[in-house]
Every structure is written in C-alpha cells, then in structure tokens.
Amino acid sequence: MKKACIAITVALCLVISVAFAPAGADAANPIKVKINGTDLKTDVYPTIINDRTMVPMRGIFEALGADIDWDANMNLVSAVKGDTKVSIRINSKLAYINGNERTLDSAPIIIDSHTMVPVRFIAESLGEKVDWDANARIVYIGSKTAPVKEEKPPIVTEYTLDKDTSLEYRAGCAAEFKKGTTINLYDNGYVKSGIINDDCWLSPAADRSANGGQVRFKAGTEATFFANGNLKSGTLLNEVGLKYAHINNVELSLIPSRDRNVVNFKAGTSINFNEKGYVASGIIAGNVVLPYAEYNALSFAGDTPVIFNDKGYVTSGTLRDSTSLPYRDNKLVMLKENTTVELNEDSHVITGTLKQDTELEHQGGYVGTVKFKKDTSISFGPDGYVKTGTLTDDTSLPYTEALKAIFKKETAVTFHDNGYISSGTILNTTSLPAADGTYQNVTGGTIITFDTNGKLTK
C-alpha cells in the first residue's frame, strides 16, 4: 500500500511538471513574444500551459497600450484600451469582453508571484492579430517586422533669400521678405523674423487690432513674430492708433472715450507687442492720458516712449506735468514734468526726478529720513524706501546701527536694503572700519562703499 501511494505521488508530480513547463522546451530555447517586430521584455519567460502560451499580465497589457485595473477582493483584472474592456479572474476560465462572457482554454494563474495570462486571448480581444511560429517558438502580435521609420529631412530654421519671397507668419497671413536677407523660422515653418521688402500691411493679432486688423509697416525694416503668429515688433510707416489693452481693462471714468484703450503711435518708430497682440512699448504721437493703475491715470508727453504691462497699465513714460505719485502705501513724492518715471507692479514709483527738495525715508533696519535735492533722480527699493538720490546738504548717515559718517552735499548716495549707507562721497577725512578688522583714514572728497556690515570695500 505504501509503495502504491509513492507511485501515485510521483505520477502526479510528473503530470504537473509537464503541464507547467514550456512544451518541448529547454532553458536555452525560451518562448519569445514580438509585438510589431519588437521583443516583449518581461521579468519572467513566457510559458505554455494546456497548449496555450502564457505571459506576465502587466507586461502584455502595458505593451499593448491598455490601462490595468486590479480588484484584489474579486481576484479580477480588467484592461481597457479604447472602447474595449477585457476582464479575467485568477484561476478561472471565465472571461468577459465588454461584459460578454467568454471561456478560456487556460485560466490565468500566479507563478512565482507573477500573474500569467493567455497571450492570444488578450491580444485578439484588444484587436491585435496573433501568429505562432512553432519551430522558432515565437508569438507574433501585430506585424512580424518593426515599421520602417521614415527619415525626415532636417528642419531648416534659418536661410538667406535668393529672391524677394512671400512667406507666412501664421496661417493665411504672409508678407514679402527682401532678397539677400536672413530669414528665421519656427519649427512649424512660420516666419520668426526677417526684413520686409515693401511697405506692407501686417496683422498684430489673429483676432484683434485697430484699423480692421491691419497695420502698415515700413519697407527695409525688420519684422519679428511670436510662435503663435502674432506680431512681436516692427517699424510703423504711418501714425496709427493701436490697442494697448482690452477695453474692459480701462475704466470709463479715467478715459471717457469709446476708444479709451487705443492710442496713436508715431510714424517711422519701432513698436513692440505682447503675445496677445496689444502694444508693449512704442513712441506716442501726442500728449495722451493713460492708466498706470486700475483707477488712476496720468498725462504723458507726446513724442516720448511708453511701456505697458500685460494689464495695459503704463510702467514707464515721460510725465507731461509735475505729478504727485505713490512710492509706498500712503506715501507720495512730487515728480518733475517732462521727466521719465518708472512704476512697479503695485503702481509705486521705482525711479523719477524730484520736483522739489524732498525728505524721504531710507529705513529698513534703521529709521531715518534724508533730504534729497530737487531736479535730481531718485530711486526706491521694492519696499518703498530710498535706494539712490542726491543729497541737498552735508548729511550724517549711518553705516552701522551705532556708527555714522558725514557725506558731502550735492553728491549721490546709495543705500543697502537694511537702510544703511552703501556708497557716497565722504565730506571730511574720517577713520572707517575695513573688512580685515583695521581702520583706514579716508580723505575727504573720496567716494567710498560699505558692505552690509558697515565695512569698507572701496
């Protein structure tokens, strides 16, 4: 009886080993799977069970471009590709394609922690053709050979014209560019920059600009374009009204006009646009009122340049009149007429020219005010404290919390962000600390600079 049990056990082992081993296989000749001519690379070799080639589930699904969903409670695997959903259950011969039941010849099974699934069923369910080459032991899915990659000629993005040539800068919009000049193209084939041959009409934006969407630009000058096909820069042939912002960005109370978002720019001058097709900078043709904040506007002098931000607010321009402007919240400075002002994104002054002698704060770590000279340039840091200016009088200024030096009147000074002096012209011969720990006698009338710790650097 004992011998009979041993014999049965051996027989069962032989059956199992035959069922799960690669048919007629040896380690030197494993089964291969090729998808459109390319080997399927997996962590374990494909194997044959019940005359069906089984492959690792994740590897075949991902190679065929399917998304996998695993329900651990149900032992159910689903793969979705396009409109097709294939569902199979571990150790079950029942499968489903878009809810329709199918019976498998070999159930999915876990071998060495890898879920193995029948390759033919999976591939054909996802719309692929499957062939088996028994002699070579290869499963072919899709094409047996890899597609030949079409060799595309290199994209030319710069060349010199051998004749006057009309080229598109966006679909349906073209200009004639001059013979003998260099043309730069984007990868999409549209012009990036070039010299226009004749006076020509160009469209700043596909959907928007004054004068019916066209502006005339001067022959023999460079035109540049954004990648979206909108005009970036050019030289105006005639004086023309152009939009600097969407009309809803400009308050009716500031500029009560139907064309309140349009201003005339000077003939023969360069103009720059942003990617949305609104003016970024140019020289205005006459005196004009323009917004510099949501509810504030200024009068700017004609024949001078202005710069706009993306909201359509002026960030730089020449003041027509003397004007009081904020340099910090609730702090105003009077700036001189016919001088340039620069404003930051908060509509506070960055640089300008003082209309009158003015006391301004240079505090940061130090609290104090300094009197600055009229008709001289002044600049402010991002926190609204003075960075540079010209002294009205001989002035004692701190270079550390406890130490000061006297700086000469009517000379320029600069400050660190901490409010201490950075550079200036010393009035008298003075002993000052150096970086090496010593003190140096500095002759009066010398321009000196301090580091942020109040040590001489020059």
At residue 57, the pLDDT reads 83
E strands along 146-300, which residues? Answer: 158-160, 165-170, 173-177, 182-185, 191-195, 200-202, 215-217, 222-225, 231-235, 240-243, 262-265, 270-273, 279-283, 288-293, 296-300
Torsion, CA 126, CA 127, CA 128, CA 129, rounded to 10: 140
At residue 392, the pLDDT reads 98
Q: Where are the chain's structural domains?
A: 2-141, 152-315, 322-458
- Which of the two residues, 364 and 293, has the higher pLDDT score? 293
* Residue type at position 389: G
Q: Is 211's pLDDT higher than 80?
A: no
Q: Which fold has domain 2-141?
A: Copper Amine Oxidase; Chain A, domain 1 (3.30.457)
User: Rounded to whole angstroms, what are the CA distances from 218 to 179, 237, 266, 279?
Assistant: 16, 5, 12, 17
> Which residue has 């922690």 as its token pair?
113
Q: What percent of the chain has pLDDT over 70?
A: 90
Encoding tokens for residue 31? Answer: 């089964």
Q: What is the DSSP string of 373-386?
A: -TTSEEEE-TTSSE
Calculate mean pLDDT across residues 49-58. 84
CB 250 within 8 A of CB 312: yes
Q: Mean pLDDT check: name the lowest of 22-26, 319-323, 389-393.
A: 22-26
Q: Is 25's pLDDT higher than 70?
A: no
Calculate mean pLDDT across residues 417-435. 94
Q: Is 73's pLDDT higher than 90?
A: no
Torsion, CA 196, CA 199, CA 203, CA 204, rounded to 10: 70
Calculate mean pLDDT across residues 213-221. 91
At residue 28, the pLDDT reads 59
Calculate mean pLDDT across residues 320-333. 94
Q: Is 177's pLDDT higher than 50?
A: yes
At residue 8, the pLDDT reads 33
Q: Collapsing DSSP states into helix, strand and coil, what is residue 105? A: coil
At residue 77, the pLDDT reads 84
Calculate mean pLDDT across residues 314-336. 96
Q: Is 292's pLDDT higher than 60?
A: yes
How far does the chain reach from its first CA to its final CA, in angstroms?
A: 107
Encoding tokens for residue 287? Answer: 């005196």
Tens of pLDDT, residues 233-290 = 999 999 999 999 988 888 888 887 777 899 999 999 999 999 999 999 999 999 999 9
At residue 156, the pLDDT reads 74
The pTM assigned to this predicted structure is 0.66
State how beta strands 323-328 and 331-335 pair: antiparallel
Q: Give dist(CA 250, CA 297) in Å, integer.
A: 10
Tens of pLDDT, residues 364-404 = 555 688 999 999 999 999 889 999 999 999 999 999 988 99
| Burial of residue 255 (number of CB atoms within 10 Å: 0-12, 13-18, 19+) | middle
Bridge partner list, 289: 299
CB 430 within 8 A of CB 457: no
Q: Is 18's pLDDT higher than 60?
A: no
Q: Is 353's pLDDT higher than 60?
A: yes
At residue 186, the pLDDT reads 94
CB 437 within 8 A of CB 453: no
At residue 118, the pLDDT reads 87
